[in-house]
Amino acid sequence: MKLILLGLVLLAPIITYGQDTCPTPQSLNDILVCLKDRHQLVRLKDLEVKSTQDLGKALGQRPNPVLDVQTVHAGDARQTQIILAQELDLGGKLKALSSKGDIIHKMKQTELAISKEEVVEEVLLNIHHFIHLNENLRVNREVFKSLGMVISALKKRPALAPEQEASLLNFKLQQSEVNNIITLMLDQEEEILLFFKINGGYRKEEILGVMEDHHHPLDIHKSNEKLSLNLERLGLETKMAEKELDFQKSIPWEGISIGPMFMDDKMEVISEKLYGVAFTMPIPIWQTNKAGKAIATISYSNTNTQYSLFKKKEDLQKDSFLSRIEGLQENLKKLPSEKDLLETHHRIERLYTQGLITPTAFLDSHRIWRDTIASKLEMQERILKLSIDYYRLTGTLSEVHL
């Protein structure tokens, strides 16, 4: 028996890990779809949604009737009074509380959806960074290889002129700098791979299998435009403020109850049984909860105004994002392709080995090549971030697919 229990303890982490692990991806979109549901942040928010599922019913429960029994004895005389009272909700308190509970649940659902958007953004940016790291690595490795070739050629010469010796030192320094850049990029790559392992249980080879062949900008598609989730959340806050106002209006009318009443009055000579109705209600003379209603009214007015302002702001932002994306894409088309840059690099390399250009021009060609690639990748990243912002405003970020 002890051996069985020990085996179950040892297997528990493996079983849990298997449940949290995403299946082997066949495409980039498989990674996006899986992490959108299995990311740690999403799972925590999902638990909060489940915990508030019946909150509206719980807050809107009708109170139980109250049984009030009083009896008094004096010698042979006895008086007994029985009242069965049921509290009434004439002010709409229970309805307001039930509505608030339902709104809280909807707000938790909206927060879950917002968390999924945040995960989608994180996954898209990590995929983008990984693809661009690979492109940058190819460029820098090619530069490293090119510098190695000319360094090796110079070292083979029996003697070097002062200018050639200076060129050799510059080439070595440049190669050392490029090597440092490659090392830092490989470290960044490992950090991205760790993100996918922690949140989806992906192995390194699985990620490499679907990412290494993608050397192009991410092609992202969305579905039909809707309200942004932030605007939806603000709308729910407005409804919550409205229900809070209803609740504050109901407070002066709390404590209204009605029910049957029975009284048994037994004296020394006679005995009487009396039946009737007991009714209690507050009389709002000294206060009608004006302060509570005033605060709730201001809160409702503020959230309503915020909703209108944010709606106008987001409409303007959407037009701006689309215009900026279009402008960046047009500029991106004007940049030379990776193939053209590689051919230019090889051409300059041949010119240097033939002694037709100076070492300075050769080193400048490397710098220009790397700067052009970096500028291109930076522009692509900016387009991606603007696209993510646009999809968030249209409420479709969690629905994008690669």
User: Mean pLDDT throughout 12-21?
Assistant: 48
Q: Which of 205-214, 298-307, 388-397 has the lowest mean pLDDT?
A: 205-214
pLDDT at 261: 92
pLDDT at 8: 37
Q: Which residues of 166-190 are buried (b: 16+ CB within 10 A; e: fewer)?
A: ebbeebeebbeebeebbeebeeebe
| CA distances, 226 to each of 222, 259, 383, 390 (Å) | 11, 51, 21, 11
Q: What is the DSSP string of 319-370?
A: HHHHHHHHHHHHHHHHSPPHHHHHHHHHHHHHHHHTT-S-HHHHHHHHHHHH
pLDDT at 149: 83
What is the distance of C-alpha 300 from the center of its chain?
A: 27
Residue for token digits 């220009």? 368
The answer to whether residue 54 scores a pLDDT higher than 80 is: yes
Query: pLDDT tens digits for 149-194?
Result: 888 887 887 777 787 788 788 888 888 988 999 999 999 999 999 9
pTM of the model: 0.78
pLDDT at 213: 62
* Ramachandran angles phi, psi of 286, nearest 5°: -80, -35
pLDDT at 18: 43
Q: Which domains does the chain have, with CATH numbers?
A: 2-336+375-399 (1.20.1600.10)
Determine the Cα–Cα distance for residues 401 and 383; give it in Å rounded to an integer.
16
User: Mean pLDDT throughout 268-295?
Assistant: 85
pLDDT at 285: 80
Beta-carbon contacts of 399 under 8 Å, excluding residues fewer than 6 positions away, are: 222, 223
> Tokens representing 390?
């646009």
User: Measured at the alpha carbon of residue 142, what is the angle toward residues 206 and 360, in degrees to the nearest 5?
Assistant: 155
pLDDT confidence bin for 6, thresholds 50/70/90: very low
Element of type H or E holding 79? strand 77-87
74 beta partners: 77
Burial-class residue 95 by CB neighbours within 10 Å (0-12, 13-18, 19+). Answer: middle
pLDDT at 218: 67
Q: Does residue 389 or residue 253 have the better pLDDT?
A: 389
> Highest mean pLDDT: which of 15-19, 185-189, 213-217, 328-332?
185-189
Beta-carbon contacts of 297 under 8 Å, excluding residues fewer than 6 positions away, are: 245
| Cβ(382)–Cβ(328) below 8 Å | yes
| Cβ(207)–Cβ(30) below 8 Å | no
Mean pLDDT of the chain: 84
Nearest to 299 by CA among 251, 252, 250, 243: 243
Determine the Cα–Cα distance for residues 59 and 93; give it in Å rounded to an integer.
10
pLDDT at 5: 39
Reduce the DSSP state of residue 71 to 3 states and report it.
Answer: strand
